[in-house]
Amino acid sequence: MLPANTPSWGFWLMVGGSVLVGIALGIVCIKIYRVGVFILGCLFGVFIGGVLYMGVFATFAKQSWVLIIIMVVCGVAFGFIAWYANIIGVIVATSFIGSYMLVRACSWYIGGFPNEWTLY
C-alpha cells in the first residue's frame, strides 16, 4: 500500500517496474521450465505459509520473524515438491493461487471485505 501523498508518477513507476519484473520472470520460466515450476511452487508455499501462520501459529507467536521463517520454509519446501511432482505441482499451485486471487479481487471490487492481514 502506497502512502496517500505519493505522486502519480511514483505509482506508475511501481506499476511499470512490476510489469518489467513479471516479463523477465515469465521469459525465464518459459526458457527454463523447471525453474518456472520451482518458482510457482515457492509462491504456492508462501501462500500456504501465510495461511498456516494466521490459522495456527499467530495465536501464540506474534513476532514477525516467525511469519518470515514459516513463509520461507514453506516456500522452499513446496518449491522442491513442485520440482519433483512436475505437472501435479503446477496444477495444484495455479488452481490455489488463481482461486485466491479471484476471491481477493472480487472482495476488493465489491468493497467492505477485509483481507486476511486486517483480520489478523
Query: pLDDT (tens digit, 9 = 90+) per residue, 18-58?
Result: 999 989 988 888 888 888 889 888 989 998 898 888 888 77
What's the pLDDT at 16?
92
Query: What is the reported pTM?
Result: 0.70
What's the pLDDT at 120?
60
CA–CA dist 89, 91 (Å, integer): 6
Q: Using pLDDT thresholds of 50, 70 and 90, give the confidence band for residue 116.
A: low
∠ at Cα 71 (39, 89), nearest 5°?
40
Averaged over 79-86, what is the pLDDT? 89
Mean predicted lDDT score pLDDT of the chain: 84
Per residue in 89-99, pLDDT (tens digit) is: 888 888 888 88
What's the pLDDT at 75?
93
Q: Using pLDDT thresholds of 50, 70 and 90, give the confidence band for residue 2.
A: low
Q: Would you give the end-to-end CA distance of the chain in angstroms?
A: 17
Task: Give the residue extent of every domain in the chain.
Answer: 1-31, 33-119
Instruction: Provide the grid cell at 34.
Output: 523447471
What's the pLDDT at 89?
81
Residue 1 CA: distances (Å) to CA of 5, 75, 94, 112? 12, 23, 25, 17
